[in-house]
Amino acid sequence: MAIIALTLVIKLALMPLTLNSLKSAEKMRRLQPRLNKLKKKHKDPKKLQEAQLKLFKQHNVNPLASLVPQVVQIGVFILLYKLLIGFLKTDQAISTTFLWLDLTKPDPYYILPVLAGLSQFGLSYLMKPKTSPKESQGTANDITASMGKSMLYVMPLITAFFATKFPAGLVVYWITSNLFSLGQQYYLVKNFKNHNKEKS
């Protein structure tokens, strides 16, 4: 419960930064078809970069906005990992058991790894770029679209695999963080749709 509470406190504290990064990510996702057109139009990398920067400026998009929340989350992940591993080396006064879990060891029944994989899939699905078949025509775009589709399924599998190796406490943190992010992303996507309807 302390790990879940810590995760929620961190996510709430980072909410202003996270919402800005999610808005930028959603705008980037919606700009993907136009970015693909720019790739077709400009073969010179320098001109392509200039055109992309101009497009980002027009739509008030910062591609680097997601870095700060991610860096903080990775930092917390590392600290929590060290804390849980530290419990194994000491005669801790705090109980590390919760339900069927010893939070300092991997889940023996693989329930948490499955939940971690599913939550990662949900998050990846909501954040995937939307491109129509016409927009994804061309060798480079076909490869990009294929890689994006593959990562949608590969990332949850990778997450689930590592969750079988990490202490259960870390996986609880990861699942809680993913579920919170899912809620934020769903709320953002819904607001974008409502905002577009009002405009139209």
Which uninterrupted H or E stretch holds 125? helix 111-127
Evaluate if residue 25 carries a pLDDT over 80: no
- Using CA atoms, how far apart are residues 14 and 69, in angstroms rounded to an integer? 7
Q: Which residue ranges make up each domain of the chain?
A: 2-199
Q: Which residues pair with 97 in a beta bridge?
A: 102
List b or e across 158-175, with b for residues whose CB sees 16 or more CB atoms inside 10 angstroms: ebbeebbebbbbbbbbbb
Distance CA 25, CA 128 (A): 10
**Cα(138)–Cα(37) distance, integer angstroms:** 10
- Grade residue 92 by pLDDT with cuts at 50, 70 and 90: low
Average pLDDT, integer, range 73-102: 78
Is the pTM value of this prediction over 0.75? no
Q: What's the pLDDT at 136?
A: 47
How many CB atoms sit inside 10 A of residue 104's CB?
Answer: 19
> Which secondary-structure segment (H or E) carries 101?
strand 101-102
